[in-house]
Structure 1
Amino acid sequence: MSKQKNLKLGWSALLVGVLLVGCAQTNQAPVETRTGFGRTTTVDPATLPGAENAGKPGYYTVKPGDTLIRIGLEHGQSWKDIARWSNLENPNAIEVGQVVRVVPPGAAPGEGRPSTPPTTTTASSSPVQGTALPPAGATSTPAPPPVPAAAPSADAAGLGLIWPASGTVIGTFNETTNKGVDIAGKAGDPVVAAAAGKVIYVGEVRGYGQLIIIQHSKDYLTAYGHNQKLLVKDDQNVKKGQNIAEMGSTDTDRVKLHFELRRQGKPIDPLRYLPKR
């Protein structure tokens, strides 16, 4: 009896081993386990929308905590355009691992992302074909040092920025901790458009509170956060200096305006382009 029992246990162990090997062979794709609404589901990233474009230039893979609004802000695009380019049926339901298009269809792969500033061409140290060398012993006037290339300027784009609020600057630009400047004020103080443009977002965004984003050109946009009241709507054209909001403290610890200037989605220091006070 003991021998039969041992045989049964042996066959059971062998069967379990075969099943485990079979599962390992048929489920080789990476999976992600998600829990919600009282149930746990397993999602294969390869089955998510746009997965075939993962890693390609001009595409972005959704990460935890992302929203379409924030993706648009980081890439200098309207969230509506990204939804349209990506054929999203419900822009409010994007999933981690999903891939969305962040440049217009047909655009160059790098378009919509920060470009390298132009550099100044300098003389080569090697002889150039067809150019005569000075005779031995002759002196020559040293070439002037190359002029450093100018950084991309908002004024070069014709924006002519003005201050969006009249308060004191209490937070300066830092690429890692503060992607704009913070301007102090009282609740209800006017917030104005720093330049003419088109409103591409009005609403609530985590970390920004009540937010307005204005597109000024293909390359430049500005963002205005922590407002208590929004006075414009999506797709509205605004003039430079037009009242667009009332200063507030939504999603922050005090009344202030958080103001960002972005070039092709990359945050740049607004104080370099705002008029000196």
Structure 2
Amino acid sequence: MSFTAIQLPNRASGARSLLSGLVLSALLSACASPPPGGVKVVDRSHGGGASQAPQRQPVSSGQYKVQRGDTLYSIAFRFGWDWKALAARNGITPPYLIRVGQVIRFDGAQPPSQPPVVVTAPSVVAPPSGNRPTAPVQNRPAPTPPPASAKTTPSVTALPPSQRSASGWLWPTNGPVIGRFSSNGSLNKGIDIAGELGQPVLAASDGSVVYAGSGLRGYGELVIIKHSDTYVSAYGHNRRLLVQEGQKVKAGQKIAEMGSTGTDQVKLHFEVRRQGKPVDPLQYLPRR
């Protein structure tokens, strides 16, 4: 909140005193109304779910230079774009690969021609066993494969049908909702769910992991799952990630452990985005 200084004539000391009292009264009245939710603001401030507030528009000017670890999906998520629209704006065609140093434009200018060198798009395919692949190490013997009886499968938490919504979404973790969605500007673009350190974080619906890392400021260790050409979901502040880019996941599969990276308390920040725009996750999750 900012205030404009008011210059008063020296000869009107009585009027000045009266006006100062009125200004002080107005300030006290304004401060008497607490902010919505009453939760401490950390990067994404907590809103009160003002459903009538305008949606935050995607960045429509300037450009971004691709950094190591970026993907088209993470850039679109960061700047409020639908990944398909951002690809079309920049002339990026399937399989939507980008390279370090490539310029991604948000305005209507024609993007510069890009050499066909790609290094940053997800290319890892999940192994059938659910284990994360190990990069080969030179001059080291290959690890002994586990016995056939020790074969592992993806961790999936079975949930009763009553805990799934009509559209197939389920809660990404257990715990009370301590921060609600707000579509107003920089306010909370998802919901915050409290829990314990290391608590399982589950995929809310079937999909493919399009981002797994800590490169998006304010989200800590983050997983983004693409469910369709329309929907993606995001899971932030994790302690440890259990999936990687390119991996297919099922609804209820354990994808991370709850933590407090990028924030001041243990919680899961969960977002749903429809065509790049944040929407209230509670509209898609089953009622409790």
What TM-score, normalized to structure 2? 0.49
Please tell me the root mean square deviation across aligned C-alpha atoms, in Å. 3.6
1:235 to 242, 246, 253: 246
Q: Using the alignment, how far apart are the partners of 1:79 and 1:91 within structure 2?
A: 20
Query: Is structure 2 residue 252 aligned with structure 1 residue 248?
Result: no
What CA deviation, in whole Å up to 9, does each residue of 1:169-200 have, x standing for no partner?
A: 00000013000000001110000000001111
Higher relative CO (CA 8 A, sep ≥ 6), structure 1 or 2? 2
Query: Is the 2:60–2:106 Cα contact (8 Å) retained in structure 1?
Result: no
Q: Using the alignment, how far apart are the partners of 2:246 and 2:218 within structure 1?
A: 23
Q: Where does residue 271 of structure 1 map in the other structure?
A: 282
In structure 1, what residue type is equivalent to 2:99?
N
Query: Is the 1:192–1:240 Cα contact (8 Å) retained in structure 2?
Result: yes
In structure 1, what residue type is equivalent to 2:175?
G
Query: Is the 2:65–2:101 Cα contact (8 Å) retained in structure 1?
Result: no
In structure 2, what residue type is equivalent to 1:178?
N
In structure 2, what residue type is equivalent to 1:171?
G
What CA deviation, in whole Å up to 9, does each residue of 1:106-125 have, x standing for no partner?
A: xxxxxxxxxxxxxxxxxxxx
In structure 2, relative to structure 1, the CA distance for the partners of 1:264 and 1:96 (3 Å cut) is closer
Among all aligned residue pairs of Structure 1 and Structure 2, give the percentage whose two residues are the same amino acid: 47
In structure 2, relative to structure 1, the CA distance for the partners of 1:236 and 1:100 (3 Å cut) is farther
2:176 to 168, 173, 195: 168
SS state at 2:225 partner: strand
Q: Using the alignment, how far apart are the partners of 1:232 and 1:88 within structure 2?
A: 20
SS state at 1:90 partner: coil
What CA deviation, in whole Å up to 9, does each residue of 1:88-136 have, x standing for no partner?
A: 86345647888688xxxxxxxxxxxxxxxxxxxxxxxxxxxxxxxxxxx
Q: Where does residue 237 of structure 2 map in the other structure?
A: 226
Q: Using the alignment, how far apart are the partners of 2:91 and 2:244 within structure 1?
A: 20
Query: Is the 1:78–1:201 Cα contact (8 Å) retained in structure 2?
Result: no
2:99 to 90, 97, 118: 90
Q: Where does residue 76 of structure 1 map in the other structure?
A: 82
Q: Using the alignment, how far apart are the partners of 2:222 and 2:190 within structure 1?
A: 14
Structure 2: 5+ residue stretches without partners: 1-57, 112-164
Query: Is structure 2 residue 217 aligned with structure 1 residue 206?
Result: yes
Q: Using the alignment, how far apart are the partners of 2:244 and 2:85 within structure 1?
A: 15
Query: Is the 1:169–1:182 Cα contact (8 Å) retained in structure 2?
Result: yes
SS state at 1:71 partner: helix
Query: Is the 1:69–1:79 Cα contact (8 Å) retained in structure 2?
Result: no
Q: CA deviation at 1:77?
A: 2.1
Q: Where does residue 43 of structure 2 map in the other structure?
A: none
SS state at 2:83 partner: coil
Q: How many matched pairs?
A: 166
Q: Using the alignment, how far apart are the partners of 1:207 and 1:91 within structure 2?
A: 22
Q: Using the alignment, how far apart are the partners of 1:78 and 1:97 within structure 2?
A: 13
Q: Using the alignment, how far apart are the partners of 1:237 and 1:275 within structure 2?
A: 23
Instruction: Map 1:1-277; keep pairs closer than 5 Å.
Output: 61-62=61-62, 70-73=74-77, 74-77=80-83, 85=92, 90-91=99-100, 94=103, 159-176=167-184, 177-204=187-214, 205-277=216-288
SS state at 1:75 partner: coil
Q: Using the alignment, how far apart are the partners of 1:78 and 1:248 within structure 2?
A: 31
In structure 1, what residue type is equivalent to 2:238?
N
Query: Is the 1:193–1:243 Cα contact (8 Å) retained in structure 2?
Result: yes
What CA deviation, in whole Å up to 9, does each residue of 1:49-106 have, x standing for no partner?
A: xxxxxxxxx99544589976553112232899688808986345647888688xxxxx
In structure 2, relative to structure 1, the CA distance for the partners of 1:70 and 1:252 (3 Å cut) is same
What CA deviation, in whole Å up to 9, does each residue of 1:220-249 have, x standing for no partner?
A: 110111111000011111000000000111
Structure number with bigger Rg:
1
Structure 1: 5+ residue stretches without partners: 1-57, 102-154
Which has more helix, going by share of residues?
1
Query: Is the 2:74–2:211 Cα contact (8 Å) retained in structure 1?
Result: no
SS state at 1:271 partner: helix
Query: Is the 1:76–1:221 Cα contact (8 Å) retained in structure 2?
Result: no
